[in-house]
Amino acid sequence: MLQVAFIKENKEDVIARLAKRNIDATKIINDVIALDEDRKAIQTNLDNTKAESNAISKEIGNLFKSGEAQKANLLKEKTTQLKEVTKTLEQQLNDKVDGLNELLYRIPNVPNPLVPAGNTDEDNEETFREGDIPTLHQGALPHWELAKKYDIIDFELGNKITGAGFPVYKGKGARLQRALITYFLDKNTAAGYTEYQVPHLVNEASGFGTGQLPDKEGQMYHVTADNLYLIPTAEVPATNIFRDSLLNESDLPSAITGYTPCFRREAGSYGAHVRGLNRLHQFDKVEILRVEHPDNSYKALDGMVEHVKEILKELKLPYRILRLCGGDLGFTSALTYDFEVFSTAQDRWLEISSVSNFETFQANRLKLRFKNSEGKNELCHTLNGSSLALPRVLAGILENYQTEDGIKIPEVLVPYTGFDIIS
RNA sequence: GGAGAAAUGGCAGAGUGGUCGAAUGCGGCAGUCUUGAAAACUGUUGAGGGUCACACCUCCGGGGGUUCGAAUCCCUCUUUCUCCGCCA
């Protein structure tokens, strides 16, 4: 969430930049500022009342000590009154703070100036494209047909065991998936990311820290018996590693990577676009995450983009990079680049990575700060991205690498798979 | 799951009703000394709100209560440790 001080200091700019998300934030911003003024007035009033009763309490203590009990008892009456006042003011203060937070939770992050205006994914700006789209042989198939033909992914079996959106990977399909995970992790650790294995269930505080709660709980599976949530992305546990921390400037940047399964309810999704591996309830993903000094975060974002590019280049998959427009930008992000791989047999682009700078938006909620060179505590910037989301990469490989003889394995993966063709 | 113990500043660890935002040690920072470093010595060193700056308010795991006054007493939740049970 945004900081009130920041909103106050940059009011017009905040409203102007939020307009890129096609929202008129004028009212809510004004309400925030007004509520904060109220809050401050009540706070001051409360502080003064408390100061008065603290002083009297001290006096009472002294009077008892010097044996003037009668005087002390007289003063007690006064503090009883003050206590009533304190109680009322505290209630008022809580109401204001709750009201203020309620508003703040609803304000999305302020887009970076680079974010193009626009409403839908049609307005996203393509910034880069690489890799040749292969010309497929006669009778080329979409990946779900290939999966069946070579018996490497069984969607029906998943239906039986769990339900739609929980595929079962078999034989070389399973091995290819594992190869990809290991390959991605190797690439990430080679680039300086430290590998972590994090929990796949998180508590409420963690869901809140990264912004899934309180609003977007519908996207997560909730284990009610223990009040835990299955993670929709490794971002949640990995970012919460840093919740409530005060780092030294020398600890920055901190870069971590991790593989986890991801669970998403995807309520309301249906149709051809969710066929096969396109959209699942459970999928695997390797995530990269950075905690950066504010001065360095955009450089770091570019670095992450370059890193993901390198992986796709090595895999020799046709892909493009989009700079998300205001209307498509995630709630918590200031600037996001989406990577899409071309699914040749489906003739459409599939999102396989999303790399974002959240600036201080998450750090504010997480209370993730560092001690700067002046000795002051300052919020860190957080960034994360996928490197990469497995199923759609797999779909891309299956479709783009299919030949009449079978599915070739990208060269860089052969050491990991131990075979070079699925036939 | 059962029984018991505990939770204090970056860390370790005192503190059982008022003078405690909290002794002491370590660590950090600054200085003295030194060609430089180490050692030694001296000083300094939590967070949030508030203020031009002070003042002032809040925070001793979370929440609630008793009291004029709570780190300290009571209730409750969470977590950790020890023992027992179960177990990959």
Q: 3-state SS of chain A?
A: CCCHHHHHHCHHHHHHHHHHHCCCCHHHHHHHHHHHHHHHHHHHHHHHHHHHHHHHHHHHHHHHHCCCHHHHHHHHHHHHHHHHHHHHHHHHHHHHHHHHHHHHHHCCCCCCCCCCCCCCHHHCEEEEEECCCCCCCCCCCCHHHHHHHCCCEEHHHHHHHCCCCCCEECHHHHHHHHHHHHHHHHHHHHCCCEEECCCCEECHHHHHHCCCCCCCHHHCCEECCCCEEECCCCHHHHHHCCCCEEEEHHHCCEEEEEEEEEECCCCCCCCHHHCCCCCCCEEEEEEEEEEECHHHHHHHHHHHHHHHHHHHHHHCCCEEEEECCCCCCCCCCCEEEEEEEEECCCCEEEEEEEEEEEECHHHHHHCEEEECCCCCEEECEEEEEEEEEHHHHHHHHHHHCEECCEEECCHHHHHHHCCCEEC
pLDDT under 50: residue ranges of chain A: none
Q: What is the pLDDT of residue A61?
A: 83
A150 and A63 within one domain: no
A278 belongs to a structural domain: yes
A47 belongs to a structural domain: yes
State the CATH number of the domain containing residue A391: 3.30.930.10
Calculate the angstrom distance between C1' of B37 and CA of A215: 57
A71 belongs to a structural domain: yes
A79 and A47 within one domain: yes
A270 belongs to a structural domain: yes
Calculate the angstrom distance between C1' of B77 and CA of A233: 29
Last residue of a domain, one of A106, A129, A148: A106
Closest nucleotide (C1' vs CA) to A53 is: B68
Q: Can you tell me the distance from the alpha carbon of A383 to that of A7, in angstroms, rounded to the nearest whole number? A: 22
A114 belongs to a structural domain: no
A391 and A279 within one domain: yes
Closest nucleotide (C1' vs CA) to A79 is: B68
A68 belongs to a structural domain: yes
A127 and A88 within one domain: no
A156 and A48 within one domain: no
Residues 27-66 of A with CB under 7 A from strand B: 40, 43-44, 46-48, 50-51, 53-58, 60-61, 64
Q: What is the pLDDT of residue A350?
A: 92
A115 belongs to a structural domain: no
State the CATH number of the domain containing residue A50: 1.10.287.40
A310 and A266 within one domain: yes
Last residue of a domain, one of A81, A106, A131: A106
Q: What is the pLDDT of residue A271?
A: 63
- Nucleotide B57's nearest residue (CA vs C1') is A47
A95 and A220 within one domain: no
* pLDDT, tens digit (0-9, with 9 covering 90-100), for A294-343: 989 999 999 999 999 999 999 999 999 999 999 999 999 999 999 999 99
Q: What is the pLDDT of residue A74?
A: 80
As for how many domains chain A has, the answer is: 2
Q: What is the pLDDT of residue A269?
A: 61
A169 and A253 within one domain: yes
* pLDDT, tens digit (0-9, with 9 covering 90-100), for A52-80: 888 888 888 888 777 777 777 888 888 88
Backbone angles phi and psi of A390, in degrees to 5: -70, -50
A146 and A85 within one domain: no
A133 and A65 within one domain: no
Residues 67-86 of A with CB under 7 A from strand B: 76, 79-80, 83
- Nucleotide B50's nearest residue (CA vs C1') is A44
Closest nucleotide (C1' vs CA) to A61 is: B18
Return positions of chain B under 7 A from a protein CB: 10, 18, 47-51, 56-58, 68-69
Closest nucleotide (C1' vs CA) to A73 is: B68
A240 and A144 within one domain: yes
A112 belongs to a structural domain: no
Q: What is the pLDDT of residue A270?
A: 63
Last residue of a domain, one of A74, A106, A138: A106
For residue A48, the enclosing domain spans 4-106
A150 and A21 within one domain: no
A377 C-beta less than 7 Å away from strand B? yes
**Would you state the structure tokens that stand for residue A415, as one six-digit string?**
């050491």
Q: What is the pLDDT of residue A268?
A: 62
Closest nucleotide (C1' vs CA) to A78 is: B68
